[in-house]
Structure 1
Amino acid sequence: MSKIIDRSVDIGEFIPASDDDMIICRCEEITKGEIRKAVHDGMYTMTEIKRYLRAGMGLCQGQTCGKLVKGIVAKELGAPNGELAPGTSRSPVRPVEMKVYGNEIEDRGEKYE
């Protein structure tokens, strides 16, 4: 069993660091301290961190912060980066006007049916 999956291993208590206020995920404004605290709260995988903090769920979908978050989580767990499974990427969801679904899109004043 991987050291990361084994939740019976005590990783120690959360000790604040001087750089905990550094923003890691710019899209969702998640700090290094929030990520570190989440690990100590029991979020050991990238998917759990993503669901718990929304890190990597902004417009960039983790393209900017993904490696940084993974490195922070791995360091807190005392494991190499390669042991952490990557988080799942999905397309960002954007609001869509109901007229698009109703096929009532107007373009240059013309109504399409």
Structure 2
Amino acid sequence: MKRSSMIICRCEEVALIQLEAAYESGCHTSRQLKMKTRAGMGACQGRICRHLLETWVHAKNPESVRDPELLPHRPPVRPVTFGQLANGEA
């Protein structure tokens, strides 16, 4: 697998090359990258890719602030079981 085709956010299908392009266009924080590329905005709300994105930003700029609250993940308002979804109760 080429490094540039590595998927960072599976939910939104954001590849590393897209992050690099956004970074070069002036998006230098994880929040800015999220808004530009939609990384972390998919179904998992960043629970999978948030750490990858923040680690990548810190590797690009070691002086950047590593704040765990920059990209918070938001759980669903109320949990729904697969059984409820299958029965149409949600």
TM-score exceeds 0.5: yes
Deviations 1:32-77 (A, max 9, x none): 1111221111111121111100000001011001111111112122
Residues 76 and 30 from structure 1, CA distance in 2 versus in 1: closer, same or farther, beyond 3 angstroms?
Answer: same
1:36 and 1:72 map into 2 onto residues whose CA distance is 10
Partner of 1:65: 49
Equivalent position amino acid for 2:66 in 1: L
TM-score (structure 1 length as normaliser): 0.56
Structure with the larger helix share? 2
Residues 84 and 37 from structure 1, CA distance in 2 versus in 1: closer, same or farther, beyond 3 angstroms?
Answer: farther
Given that 1:22 and 1:31 are in contact with CA atoms closer than 8 Å, whether structure 2 keeps it comes out as yes
Q: Please show how residues 87-106 of structure 1 align to structure 2 within 5 Å.
A: 87-90=71-74
TM-score (structure 2 length as normaliser): 0.69
- Tell me, what secondary structure is at the counterpart of 1:20? helix
- Tell me, what secondary structure is at the counterpart of 2:28? coil
Provide the aligned C-alpha RMSD in A: 2.2
1:84 aligns with 2:66: yes
The structure number with the bigger radius of gyration is: 1
Structure 1: unaligned runs, 5 residues or longer: 1-17, 93-106, 108-113
Structure 2: unaligned runs, 5 residues or longer: 77-88
CA displacement at 1:22 relative to structure 2 = 0.5
2:50 and 2:63 map into 1 onto residues whose CA distance is 15
Given that 2:12 and 2:39 are in contact with CA atoms closer than 8 Å, whether structure 1 keeps it comes out as yes
Partner of 2:4: 20
- Tell me, what secondary structure is at the counterpart of 1:56? coil
Size of the aligned set, in residue pairs, is 74
